[in-house]
A and B are shown apart, each in its own frame.
Chain A
């Protein structure tokens, strides 16, 4: 098990190097530091001096890969590739274009993101599994049929509709919660409720339908017939036998997104004015702040790889047949 985790971690290194090289090419070769500076300073009436100054302030004045002018190790370390790209491996994200530390921003902004994402995920799974079990229990009946129809309608409606509709109804018409904003502690609760509810509703249709097919697949298996032949009640067959087996695909599907949760939701956070990492990324994209976008792309990759590793480990916990070696 330990050996497996170490090996998987080693496998992750070439993937991360690939991600790193790719972002380096995209952010510094395809789009040169001069282009970035011009984009920020404005295309017209920009002197070369202003550009050089802007680059020097942010450390973009160095050569890309090899520094001919420096001596010794500096040849390598005094470059954009080393300072900006390789530094990501040490989680040194540097400073954003407006001069603030990106690492600092991430560590403060992840909490609002988590405050939204974690309840959304947990409540979402709970509700989706319950409804899916209900539909599986009444499989083939009208309850099942109409349940699936409603799921498909819910999947077909755009997420933006739930957000805007929810804000309009609950926030503007009924004045139950503020339309947007964020606060810490107990006072933050009223800001969190609506985005969480909308996040849950938005994912419900797809979730119920997916979990229902997991349950139905398990219900067709031989061991279910054995359980019935023992004289167990249908609810016991469903809850102990079917649920336990169906939890394997459900859980592994969830674990893989677990680490990426604190990256937040891009859309939800922007619409509700939550100062999380999702809105941070959106703002950075709008402001053409490549330093932030680059940091978030790299962080996202690391977390996704971590998620895949956790998925494989979680298999061993829920499925006695799986042993990692």
Chain B
């Protein structure tokens, strides 16, 4: 069949002060009419820029070269005025952030109407009728009334539905969906993916699905292309890809997924980092991180060759001309070797390792209510019961996962335990200390025992402070770590312990990648000898392979230091991998609580079952 869209030798680059940055480097793909084609890759792989290149929506400093054939028109050579007919008309696009992707000051009807007017020539009553039909088609209740609403009156999932309605307005042959569910909760994600599936079938529309999530690929895709460092490294059908991924990078992606099967083991990690794309490569781009690489991989650039059983792969292992040259016994490497086991930090505080079964933190009937004030004198007319009677116990050396969707109150629980939010009622005991009764100096002194790691390592460090100052700040506040010299020595040990070189301490946060920043945040938390760390979605802003590194690190630190984790997350795979106990939160209450194995394999509460069934299952070879 003739492809709908055919990308030939597409390159997209930026001129930077370090030289030309080749974000997309000579990729070729075909998308057939009506198929779901997934472009899989981690951040920086070039997958989003590929999509923006198709739409010619690149930022002003980027340039593209190559051919993009939509039927028999080369999009890169269309004049801008003709390209506008393609954009939103024959090819439509939806984005990752439904919260910010809609114009806040225009009603959704107006925003759909714009696309109808541009591509269908509909105006006034006709446009409105069509817009109502579109809202109905994407599953928005009472479309007649909602059409006059503004984006802020819709929830995140609803906004993404509105985005889809806008995209459908031009009746596109191809819908580009750039991480359409990444910002959404797991149950909402399941609904949106289901909707895309249905619409795709009804309208026989092709979807180019850009994602980093193997679960989404497994649920949606007909075919998959894996991108790494600006190149396509593997092209396969879904069945082929899930049952036997060929490229070593694809295999690693699967292996670094946390899950029940990996419990107790270290997750596989990909050593090193994605290479900077400003360099000129010789040999395979993945070779420095590949466990199977040999000399040829570093010398000869592999081509994307057809593989046995369909699909293509860019790896010398599958090229008979080269694979024969491979040394018989490849230098075996421990995949986890990049996480150096650092020296334990200082002598453990007396009694710190005592009693593995000791209950460190006991929360009873915790309530955190926020007042709603209204009227002339701001009288309290009601309250938001963010946390409404939560009880839990955390033991030394164990991990309690607090699972729930956004708005369930799980982060509020974490913050109120730390006294970062005022407690309305209830009891929080750390050992024998009633945390809620502490004031002033006593509270500050207690802060060393409980620490927190936040979700976004990009914004949780002061960008104007050096790493050494960030790590030292807590020690100074707690009056520990001795003099300047002793403190510096301790910072070195802490950085080594989290797998960073001590040399980094005089650098600033922006010089690090997301995973490295999260390591610094962990070092900062460890600096004051905590016994409990509240981990608030510590890996959800990170790529899968980086997530594996951070999870391994947290696990090792727990074994070495006997830390207790209150692990706040919405990611069930992480729960399955890491948690000893699970508490499921819904609307401010814990609806189910128990051992991880028991809750996950035999959920009792309806809500838990619903959550679990919404998690995309990866039908992998294991």
Contacts and interface: CB of A to CB of B under 8 A. Distances in A.
A221 B95 CA distance: 12
Interface stretch (B102-110, B206-214, B432-440, B595-603): B102-110
A245 B57 CA distance: 21
Given A3-B375, A3-B376, A325-B374, A229 B88 contact: yes
Interface string A1-17: 00100110000000000
Contacts of B55: 229
Contacts of B251: none
Interface in A217-233: 221-223, 225-233
A35 interface: no
B152 A231 contact: no
Interface in A240-299: 240-241, 244-245, 248
Interface stretch (A25-33, A94-102, A147-155, A314-322): A314-322
B118 interface: yes
A231 B89 contact: yes
B105 A230 contact: no
Interface residues of B, number: 36
B150 interface: yes
B287 interface: no
Contact of A231 (B87, B106, B377, B378): B87
Given A232-B118, A320-B150, A321-B150, A227 B103 contact: yes
Contacts of B93: 229
B376 A7 contact: yes
Contact of A226 (B84, B103, B118): B103
B100 interface: yes
Contacts of B493: none
Contacts of B152: 320-321
Contacts of A319: 104-105
A140 interface: yes
Given A231-B84, A232-B84, A223 B60 contact: no
A140 B60 contact: yes
Contact of A230 (B87, B104, B107, B377): B87
Interface string B368-388: 000000111110000000000
**Most central of A226, A240, A318 by chain B CB within 10 Å:** A226
Contacts of A231: 84-89, 115, 118-119, 170
Contacts of B106: 240-241, 244
Contact of B95 (A7, A139, A222, A233): A222
B101 A225 contact: yes
Nearest to B373: A325
Indicate the member of A3, A221, A222 with the most B CB atoms within 10 Å: A222
Contacts of B57: 225, 228-229
A319 B151 CA distance: 12
A239 B374 CA distance: 37
B114 interface: yes
Contacts, number: 87
B544 interface: no
Given A222-B100, A229-B57, A229-B92, A318 B105 contact: yes
B87 A222 contact: no
B284 to A, nearest CB: 34
B527 interface: no
Contacts of B102: 223, 226
A162 to B, nearest CB: 36
Contacts of B88: 229-232
Contact of B104 (A223, A227, A236, A325): A223
Given A7-B376, A222-B95, A325-B374, A229 B87 contact: yes
A318 B103 CA distance: 13
B423 to A, nearest CB: 27
B97 interface: yes
Nearest to A319: B105
B166 interface: yes
B468 interface: no
Contacts of B85: 231
Contacts of A236: 114
Contacts of B105: 244-245, 248, 318-320
Contacts of A233: 84
B89 to A, nearest CB: 6
B374 to A, nearest CB: 6
Contact of A241 (B103, B115, B170, B376): B103
B84 A223 contact: no
Contacts of A325: 374-375
A230 B166 contact: yes
Nearest to A225: B57
Nearest to A223: B103
B163 interface: yes
Nearest to B374: A325
Interface in B71-99: 84-89, 92-93, 95, 97
A230 B103 CA distance: 13
A226 B166 contact: yes
A325 to B, nearest CB: 6
Given A225-B57, A227-B114, A245 B87 contact: no
A223 B87 contact: no
Interface string A161-197: 0000000000000000000000000000000000000
Interface in B113-155: 114-115, 118-119, 150, 152
Contacts of A232: 84, 88, 114, 118
A286 to B, nearest CB: 46
User: Top 3 A-B pairs ranked by shortest CB distance?
Assistant: A231-B88, A230-B88, A231-B87
Given A230-B169, A325-B375, 19 more contacts: A7-B377, A140-B60, A222-B95, A222-B100, A223-B103, A229-B88, A230-B92, A230-B115, A230-B166, A230-B170, A231-B84, A231-B85, A231-B118, A232-B114, A241-B106, A245-B105, A248-B105, A320-B152, A321-B152
24 contacts: A6-B376, A7-B376, A222-B100, A222-B101, A223-B104, A225-B95, A226-B95, A229-B55, A229-B57, A229-B95, A230-B169, A231-B84, A231-B88, A231-B119, A231-B170, A232-B114, A240-B114, A241-B103, A244-B103, A245-B103, A318-B105, A319-B105, A320-B107, A321-B150
Interface of B: 55, 57, 60, 84-89, 92-93, 95, 97, 100-107, 114-115, 118-119, 150, 152, 163, 166, 169-170, 374-378
